[in-house]
Amino acid sequence: MNEINALFYNYTGILQRDARPAGTSGDQLGNEIPEGGPVDEGGIKEMAASVVASSRRVDELASALPEVELDEAAQLKRIAALQEENDRLDRELKEELEKARKTLARATAAFEAATNHVFVKADAPEAKAAAAEEMDVEP
């Protein structure tokens, strides 16, 4: 569908851009294509042929689609089944999200415990004295 839309859009723009004024005789607008314009009758026929070919491809694809059940009861049954599947998947996703949150909380707690241990150890007086000895300065 996008292809046929693009063709119509582009070809209409080309024809409008390159159109030469139509001739008139009296009060009648002529149907003749003026000679010498950038778009001649052959170009117009090529554009029309590509639009027709694209339209045929769309028709072929549409005819290859499976038949749709037009019975209202069957459609409602299908909608109910899809809703049940959606609800089941929603519950599964919520369970997985809860597991992920718990895992994140445990990992965060472990990280905080490890970093607190390192910072507390570094702030201890004996740690400061050891660091001072290494640098040969007074604590």
Kindly tell me the burial class for residue 33, based on how many C-beta atoms sit within 10 Å of its own C-beta (0-12, 13-18, 19 or more): middle
- pTM summary value: 0.39
Max avg pLDDT among 13-22, 44-53, 62-71, 101-110: 101-110
Tell me the C-alpha distance between 52 and 47, whole Å. Answer: 9
Quote the mean pLDDT of the chain. Answer: 79
pLDDT (tens digit per residue) in 63-104: 888 777 678 888 889 899 999 999 999 999 999 999 999 999
pLDDT reported for residue 139? 47
- Cα distances from 15 to residues 29, 30, 66, 134, in angstroms, run 18, 17, 38, 86
Residue 134 has pLDDT above 60, yes or no: no
Residue 12 has pLDDT above 70, yes or no: yes
Beta bridge partners of 87: none
- What is the share, in percent, of the chain residues with pLDDT greater than 90? 22
Residue 122 has pLDDT above 60, yes or no: no
